[in-house]
Amino acid sequence: MSALAGRRVVIIGGGSGIGLEVARRAAAAGASVHLGGRTPEKLASAAKEVGGTWQVVDNTDQDSLAAFFGALDRVDHLFTPGASYTVGPLRELSDEEAASPFETKFWGQYHAVKHAVPRLAPDASIVLMSGAASVRPPAAAPAYVACNAAVEGLGRGLAVELAPVRVNVVAPGTIDGNMWAARPAAVREASFAQYRADTLLHRVGKESEVADAVLYLFGSTYTTGSTLYPDGGYALR
Ligand SMILES: NC(=O)c1ccc[n+]([C@@H]2O[C@H](COP(=O)([O-])OP(=O)(O)OC[C@H]3O[C@@H](n4cnc5c(N)ncnc54)[C@H](OP(=O)(O)O)[C@@H]3O)[C@@H](O)[C@H]2O)c1
């Protein structure tokens, strides 16, 4: 029987992209899946597809996070990819834009864990979302790079504080999926071409390949405080 059978998997940012792909796989492995995000229609459709439940939550609003976790009786595995932010060069971004990855991707995940803690099972696991830019900065995205590095530090710090709950981080490279589909085709194609040149496997990744890494971290009972890079070797090239 799968280690996820009968377990409660909670995903903030589960209505699309990598989060939805994790939901599909967790549900297929027998987990009961609960999805969060800001858009009800998207969540309802995703939850229907995976046979799960959903509730609106905005990870930049602690009242919203308190209500989201307050409605749950138990969390066995938590994944928190939900984030929406601006990336750009120091010389061009306003301070508010530069802070936006920290607001939603760093503090959003920090506060999600804070509100989840009272609901976590003793053998629970948490997977935080980073990005391989943390270790190999692309041009002109310094605040985004720093935010991802901070998320990886947060994962290590939480692993120490919350043990025996396990806390790990997934840090993907460029992934062909929902996030990039929403960007202009010319920008996407130029970025993908650059990434193919920059990575050992000469291709961009798939959402399913990141979901494989997340499910591995959910189930890997002796792994905590680690960051896994499903990036095709981008960090090494
Ligand atoms: N795709 C890549 O190439 C790539 C590479 C490295 C890292 N990542 C990271 O992966 C994460 C998810 O990206 P994705 O590729 O799966 O794209 P995505 O489909 O855009 O997923 C983001 C999800 O998060 C939700 N969300 C956004 N802001 C939120 C908030 N404040 N509170 C709660 N939910 C929120 C969105 O739904 P609503 O808008 O309805 O809330 C959406 O369902 C991001 O943190 C990104 O930095 C992606």
Indicate whether residue 109 lines ligand 1 (CB < 6 A): no
Which of 221, 237, 233 lies closest to 173, judged by CA?
A: 233
Q: 169 pairs with which residues across the strands? A: 128, 227
Domain assignment present for 57: yes
Domain membership of residue 197 (yes or no) is no
Mean pLDDT, the chain, rounded, equals 97
CATH number of the domain that residue 103 is part of: 3.40.50.720
Our answer on whether the CB atom of 16 is closer than 6 Å to any ligand 1 atom is: yes
Q: Does any ligand 1 atom lie closer than 6 A to the CB of residue 87? A: no
Residue 195's nearest CA partner among 136, 120, 155, 150 is 136
**In this structure, are residues 109 and 36 in contact, taking their beta carbons and an 8 Å threshold?**
no
Verify whether ligand 1 is closer than 6 Å to residue 231 (CB atom): no
Give the pLDDT band of residue 47 (cuts 50, 70, 90).
very high
Residue 70: inside a domain: yes
Q: Does the residue 101 lie in any domain?
A: yes
Name, in order, each residue with C-beta under 8 angstroms of 213's C-beta and a sequence gap of 6 or more: 170, 172, 228, 230
Which of 41, 179, 196 is the pocket-test mutation for ligand 1 (most atoms within 8 Å of CB)? 179
pLDDT confidence band for 103 (50 / 70 / 90):
very high
CB atoms within 10 A of CB 185: 9
Residue whose CA is at the smallest distance from ligand 1 atom 22: 82
191: in domain: no
Residue-wise burial string across 91-127, b where 16 or more C-beta atoms lie within 10 A, e elsewhere? eebeeeebbbbbbbbbbbbbbbbebbbebbeeebbbb
Write the pLDDT tens digit of every residue in 8-40.
Answer: 999 999 999 999 999 999 999 999 999 999 999
| 192 in a structural domain | no
177 lines ligand 1 (CB under 6 A): yes
Q: Which residue has the tokens 């903030």?
A: 12
Residue-range definition of the domain harbouring residue 147: 8-175+207-228
CB of 213 closer than 6 angstroms to any ligand 1 atom:
no
Domain assignment present for 3: no
Q: Is residue 200 part of a domain?
A: no
Whether residue 101 has its Cβ less than 6 Å from ligand 1: no
Question: Can you read off the two tokens belonging to residue 121?
Answer: 């099972």
Per-residue pLDDT tens digits for 185-196: 999 999 999 999
For residue 38, give the ligand 1 atom closest to its CA: 41
- Overall average pLDDT of the 96-110 stretch: 98
By DSSP bridging, strand 75-80 and strand 120-129 are parallel
Q: What percent of the chain has pLDDT over 90?
A: 98
Distance of CA 169 to the CA centre of its chain: 8
Residues near 86 by Cβ (< 8 Å), separated by ≥ 6? 93, 97, 98, 100, 101
Domains of the chain: total: 1
The pLDDT of residue 146 is: 98
Q: Following DSSP, what letter does each residue of 100-124 receive, concatenated?
A: HHIIIIIHHHHHHHHHHGGGEEEEE
Torsions phi, psi for 171 (to 5 deg)? -130, 85
pLDDT band at residue 2 under the 50/70/90 scheme? confident
pLDDT (tens digit, 9 = 90+) per residue, 112-162? 999 999 999 999 999 999 999 999 999 999 999 999 999 999 999 999 999
Q: Looking at 59-191, which runs of residues are DSSP E strands?
A: 75-80, 120-129, 166-170, 175-176
Mean pLDDT across 225-229: 98
Residue appearing with tokens 């060069």: 89
- Does the pLDDT value for residue 237 go beyond 90? no
**Structure confidence at residue 1 (pLDDT):** 63
Torsion of CA 180, 227, 88, 43, to 10 degrees: 40
